[in-house]
DNA sequence: TTGTACGCGTTATCAT
DNA sequence: ATGATAACGCGTACAA
C-alpha cells in the first residue's frame, strides 16, 4: 500500500510542498483553485499528514491534555465530558491520557508536553505529592483538579488546584450523622496512607468525631484491600463483610466513595441488615448512580460542572498570562438520600 | 528553562549522539561505563526524549492502540483493564484513545497509526458500518471487539471481530421471560437506527417474540432519547417514565444495556411499581453494578475477560502473521438476579 | 501567489 | 564499541 507524503501530493499536483502545506492548514495567501485541486488529490490518494512530523516542527499547538489516574472512576468521566465541551468551544483540542497506577503523573506530563507541544495540562486524580523540583520542570501551565485541600508541606505557589475541601466536606457529612444521633460510625477508607483523597476524607472523619467528643476507635476504621481496585464496588463489599464479621457494633457507615458505599449496602443487605433501618450508609462524590440505587444513597455531591468549568477557565487564564497559580475551593452539597435515618433517643443512648 | 536534546547530552558527555541513543534504547553494543555516565547526565539535566522525533524515525513501535467510543461505558472500562494487563505481559505498550461520538473511528485509526507506527488496533464500541475502501487503507492489523454478529452487507474478510452474538443472546433473554409466562414485554432500545448493537438487540427481541408467536407491538418498543447520552441511567429513567405514562400495560421490560435497566428500575420504583412483583426487568451486558443494585438485576453477562484475552491474542496472531481475519463468537450467560419473577397461570392468561 | 531549502530531534546505517 | 551522517515528513523563512 502506497503511503503518500506531502511531497508526493505536491509532485502530483505540480506544485511546491509549501503550497500543499498552506492548503492543509488553511493559510490565507493561496489561490482558491489550487487549494481545491490539492484538496481533491489529497482525498483521492488518501493522504494523511504525519502528526509526529507536524509536532516536531510546531512550536505550539492549540491543545491541552487531561491526564487521568483511574479512568474507571465515574466521577472523572463526567468531569472529562465537561472539559471536552469547553475545549471545543475554545477551539482547542483535548488529548486524553490515561496514567497507570504505578506511573508518576508528572513524568508522563513531561513526556506528553514534549511530544505534542501542548499549552496546558489538567491532572485528574492521583496523589499530589510531587517535588517542587519536578514541578518546576513542567514549564506549561497546569492545574490539579479534584482536591481542594492539600497537605501543607507542598509549596502552594508551584501549582494550581481546584476542587472541594475533602477534609471539611467529609467532616460535615459526619456531623450530619452525629446530629441524627449516630455515635458508632464506621468508616471505609481507601489509600489512607500517603497523600491521597482517602487520607483527607479520613482526617475529616476524625476531625468531626473529635469536635463532637466521640472517641475515635480504630476498630471502626476499616481500610479497604490493597490487592484489588481501591475504590471498587467489590472492595466496598468485602471490606464491609469483614467489618460485620468483626461483630463490632455500628449504627452508621461512611464510605469514602459512592462506589464503596454501594458495595457496602449490598454487603449489609446480604447479611440481613436493612439500610437505613439497621445501619445508615453515606457515600462521597455524588455520582449519578447514587441517585439510582435502592435506597438512594445519601452522599456529598461535588459540583462537577462548576469544578470542570473553573478548572478549564483557570488553565486558560494561566495560559494567557492573566493569572498566577491559584487555589480554589468549591462547596459540596449534602444530598439526602434514603440510606440514612435518625436514631431515636433510646437507640442513641444505648 | 533549558530543554536539552540528545545532542546536548552527547556534547556534555563528550560522546556522539548515536552512543547516547544506544544508551537510551538499551542497545547491546555499548560500554557499560559510558552508558552509566550518559544515564547520569540525562538524569542530572532532566533530559526527556522527544517522542515525535522518535516516532518520525522509527519504523515500528512495540505498541498497539485501543480506540474507544464511549469511554463512560463501564463495560469497556473492564475490557480495557484486561487488555492493558495482557499488553504488559507481552511488553507492548498500549495507547488508549478516545473517539468522540461524531468522529469516524477508522479516520482516527489512520491518523494514530501514522503518528505512532503502531502494530495493531483494537476498536471498542461504535458502529461497524465502514466501507471496504477505508478499511483497506488501514494497513495494520485490527480487531473490532464487542460485536459478535454483524450485518451481512460488510465483507467479512476485511476485518476481524469478536464478541457475543447480540441478536441471539437478546433472543435468549426474551425466551427466558416468555418461559416465565411474560407476554407483554416492553423493550428500551438505544440507537435502533443504524448498524449498532442497539439494532441487533432489538432484532433479537423481535426474533424471540415471533418464534413464540407473540405479536410485536410498536407501543412496547421504546426508543431512548437521542438528545442525551444514549445508554445513560437518565435515559433509561426518562424513557421508562414515558412508557408508564402511556398506560400501555406490560409485565416485563428488557433494556438493551444494564445502565438503561438500572435507570428503568428507579423509574418503576418511583412510580410505585415493585420490581419484580409488578414488573420484571432484565438488562444486558453483565456489568459489575448489576450484581450490586437492589434488587439484583437479571442480565446477560458477556464474558469480558475471555473476550478481551481473545481479542488481544487474535490481534497478536494477526500481527505475527499466524492468522487471518477471524470472526469469533462467545457465548454469554444468563445471570438470574432478583429483578424477574415467573407469572402464575392466572396472570399469564389475563 | 508560489517554490526552494533548511532544520526540528531522533534512529539507523555505515564506517572506523 | 563508537562516531558521522543520512534520512524520517513537515512547516516556514526567504527568495522569486
**Does a structural domain hold residue B285?**
yes
Mean model confidence pLDDT for chain A: 89
Task: Look up the protein residue whose alpha carbon has the minimum distance to the C1' of D12.
Answer: A18
Could you say which residues 1-40 of protein chain B have a Cβ atom less than 7 A away from any atom in strand D?
Answer: 14-19, 22, 28-31, 34-35
Write out residues whose CB is closer than 7 A to strand C.
Answer: A 14-19, 22, 29-31, 33-35, 53, 56-57; B 3, 5-7, 17-18, 21, 24-25, 47, 49-50, 53-54, 56-59
**Residue B142 · residue B123 · CB < 8 Å:** yes
Average pLDDT on B234-255 reads: 97
**Does a structural domain hold residue B274?**
yes
- In the structure, what pLDDT confidence band is assigned to residue B154 with cuts at 50, 70 and 90? low
Question: Tell me: the pLDDT tens digits for A196-214?
Answer: 889 999 999 999 999 999 9
Instruction: Give, in Å, how far the C1' of C2 lies from the CA of A19.
Output: 7
pLDDT of residue B61: 82
- Answer whether B52 sits within 8 Å of A52, measured CB to CB: yes
Question: Tell me: the pLDDT tens digits for A123-159?
Answer: 998 666 677 777 888 888 999 887 655 555 556 677 7
Average pLDDT on B150-154 reads: 56
Question: Tell me: the pLDDT tens digits for B245-278?
Answer: 999 999 999 999 999 999 999 999 999 999 999 9
pLDDT of residue A149: 56
Q: Which nucleotide is nearest to A52 (CA to C1')?
A: D9
Q: Please check whether residues A178 and A297 belong to one and the same domain.
A: yes
**Does a structural domain hold residue B130?**
yes
Average pLDDT on B75-87 reads: 88
Distance CA B127, CA B296 (A): 30
Q: Please check whether residues A150 and A123 belong to one and the same domain.
A: yes
Count Cβ atoms within 10 A of the Cβ of residue B1 and give its class: 0-12 exposed, 13-18 middle, 19 or more buried: exposed
Average pLDDT on A76-101 reads: 88
pLDDT of residue B317: 92
Percentage of the residues of chain A whose pLDDT score is greater than 70 = 93
Cis peptide upstream of residue A295 (ω within 30 degrees of 0): yes
pLDDT of residue A25: 87
Q: What is the DSSP letter of B285?
A: B
When CB atoms are compared, the residue of A77, A111, A233 closest to B71 is A77
**Does a structural domain hold residue A173?**
yes
pLDDT of residue B60: 80
**Does a structural domain hold residue B316?**
yes
B139 touches strand D (CB under 7 A): no
pLDDT: which is higher, A37 or B204: B204
When CB atoms are compared, the residue of A53, A237, A294 closest to B294 is A294
Instruction: Give, in Å, how far the C1' of D16 lies from the CA of A163.
Output: 57
Number of domains, chain B: 3
**Does a structural domain hold residue B1?**
no
Q: Please check whether residues B104 and B178 belong to one and the same domain.
A: no
- Grid coordinates of A89: 468551544
Cis peptide upstream of residue A123 (ω within 30 degrees of 0): no
pLDDT of residue A349: 46
- In the structure, what pLDDT confidence band is assigned to residue B123 with cuts at 50, 70 and 90? very high
Q: What is the CATH number of the domain that holds A187?
A: 3.40.50.2300
B138: nearest Cα among B114, B154, B161: B114
**Residue A284 · residue A130 · CB < 8 Å:** no
Question: Tell me: the pLDDT tens digits for A255-309?
Answer: 999 999 999 999 999 999 999 999 999 999 999 999 999 999 999 999 999 999 9
Distance CA A37, CA A60 (A): 29
B122: nearest Cα among B89, B91, B168, B76: B76
Distance CA B236, CA B223 (A): 10
Average pLDDT on B90-119 reads: 87
Is residue B151 pLDDT above 60, yes or no? Answer: no
Q: Please check whether residues A244 and A196 belong to one and the same domain.
A: yes
Distance from CA of B302 to the nearest CA of A (A): 18
DSSP string, B214-236: ----GGGEEEPPSSS-TT-HHHH
Is residue B223 pLDDT above 80, yes or no? Answer: yes
Most confident range (mean pLDDT) of B125-129, B179-183, B343-347 is B179-183
pLDDT of residue A293: 97
Instruction: Give, in Å, how far the C1' of D5 lies from the CA of B25.
Output: 20
**Residue A73 · residue A30 · CB < 8 Å:** no
> Is beta strand A252-255 parallel, antiparallel or unpaired with respect to A327-330?
unpaired
pLDDT of residue A350: 45
Task: Look up the protein residue whose alpha carbon has the minimum distance to the C1' of D7.
Answer: B57
**Strand intervals (E) in chain A:** 63-69, 93-99, 120-124, 142-145, 160-164, 185-189, 221-223, 252-255, 280-282, 299-301, 327-330, 333-335
pLDDT of residue B349: 46
Q: Please check whether residues A307 and A297 belong to one and the same domain.
A: no
Kindly report the CA angle at B148 between B328 and B283, in degrees rounded to 5? 135
Average pLDDT on A109-125 reads: 90
Instruction: Give, in Å, how far the C1' of D15 lies from the CA of A18.
Output: 13
Q: Please check whether residues A91 and A200 belong to one and the same domain.
A: no
Is residue A237 pLDDT above 70, yes or no? Answer: yes
Q: What is the CATH number of the domain that holds B31?
A: 1.10.260.40
Most confident range (mean pLDDT) of A155-159, A290-294, B39-43, B79-83 is A290-294
Distance from CA of A215 to the nearest CA of B (A): 32
Q: Please check whether residues A11 and A116 belong to one and the same domain.
A: no
**Does a structural domain hold residue B208?**
yes
Q: Please check whether residues B344 and B227 belong to one and the same domain.
A: yes
Three-state secondary-structure class, residue B322: coil
Q: Please check whether residues B289 and B313 belong to one and the same domain.
A: no
Count Cβ atoms within 10 A of the Cβ of residue B236 and give its class: 0-12 exposed, 13-18 middle, 19 or more buried: buried
Q: Please check whether residues B177 and B227 belong to one and the same domain.
A: yes
**Does a structural domain hold residue A1?**
no
Three-state secondary-structure class, residue A66: strand
Distance CA B324, CA B141 (A): 9
Most confident range (mean pLDDT) of A73-77, A331-335, B193-197 is A331-335
Domain that holds residue A186: 167-301+335-348
Distance from CA of B130 to the nearest CA of A (A): 15
Residue of B nearest to A116 (CA): B52
Q: Please check whether residues A77 and A198 belong to one and the same domain.
A: no
Q: Please check whether residues B182 and B297 belong to one and the same domain.
A: yes
> Is beta strand B333-335 parallel, antiparallel or unpaired with respect to A142-145?
unpaired
Amino acid at each position: 500500500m502506497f503511503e503518500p507524503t506531502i511531497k508526493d501530493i505536491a509532485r502530483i499536483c505540480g506544485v511546491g510542498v509549501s503550497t500543499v502545506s498552506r492548503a492543509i492548514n488553511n493559510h490565507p495567501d493561496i489561490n482558491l483553485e489550487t487549494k481545491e485541486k490539492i484538496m481533491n488529490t489529497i482525498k483521492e490518494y488518501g493522504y494523511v499528514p504525519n502528526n509526529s512530523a507536524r509536532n516536531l516542527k510546531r512550536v505550539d499547538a492549540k491543545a491541552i491534555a487531561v491526564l487521568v489516574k483511574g479512568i474507571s472512576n465515574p466521577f472523572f468521566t463526567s468531569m472529562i465530558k465537561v472539559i471536552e465541551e469547553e475545549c471545543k468551544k475554545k477551539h482547542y483540542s483535548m488529548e486524553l491520557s490515561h496514567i497507570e497506577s504505578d506511573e508518576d503523573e508528572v513524568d508522563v506530563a513531561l513526556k506528553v508536553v514534549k511530544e505534542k507541544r501542548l499549552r496546558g495540562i489538567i491532572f485528574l486524580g492521583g496523589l499530589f505529592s510531587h517535588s517542587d523540583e519536578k514541578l518546576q520542570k513542567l514549564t506549561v501551565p497546569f492545574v490539579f483538579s479534584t482536591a481542594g485541600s492539600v497537605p501543607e508541606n507542598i509549596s502552594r505557589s508551584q501549582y494550581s488546584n481546584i476542587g472541594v475541601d475533602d477534609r471539611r466536606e467529609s467532616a460535615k457529612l459526619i456531623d450530619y450523622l452525629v446530629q441524627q444521633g449516630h455515635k458508632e460510625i464506621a468508616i471505609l477508607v481507601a489509600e489512607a496512607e500517603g497523600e491521597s483523597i482517602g487520607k483527607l476524607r479520613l482526617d475529616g472523619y476524625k476531625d468531626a468525631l473529635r469536635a463532637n467528643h466521640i472517641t475515635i476507635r480504630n476498630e471502626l476504621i476499616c481500610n479497604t484491600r490493597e490487592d484489588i481496585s481501591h475504590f471498587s464496588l467489590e472492595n466496598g463489599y468485602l471490606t464491609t463483610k469483614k467489618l460485620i464479621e468483626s461483630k463490632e457494633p455500628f449504627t452508621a457507615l461512611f464510605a469514602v466513595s459512592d462506589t464503596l458505599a454501594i458495595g457496602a449496602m449490598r454487603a449489609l443487605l446480604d447479611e440481613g441488615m436493612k439500610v437505613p433501618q439497621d445501619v445508615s450508609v453515606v457515600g462521597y462524590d455524588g455520582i449519578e448512580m447514587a441517585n439510582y440505587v435502592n435506597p438512594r444513597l445519601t452522599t456529598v455531591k461535588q459540583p462537577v460542572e462548576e469544578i470542570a468549568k473553573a478548572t478549564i477557565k483557570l488553565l486558560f487564564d494561566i495560559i494567557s498570562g492573566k493569572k498566577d497559580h491559584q487555589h480554589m475551593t468549591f462547596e459540596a452539597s449534602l444530598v439526602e438520600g434514603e440510606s440514612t435515618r435518625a436514631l431515636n433517643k433510646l437507640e442513641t443512648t444505648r
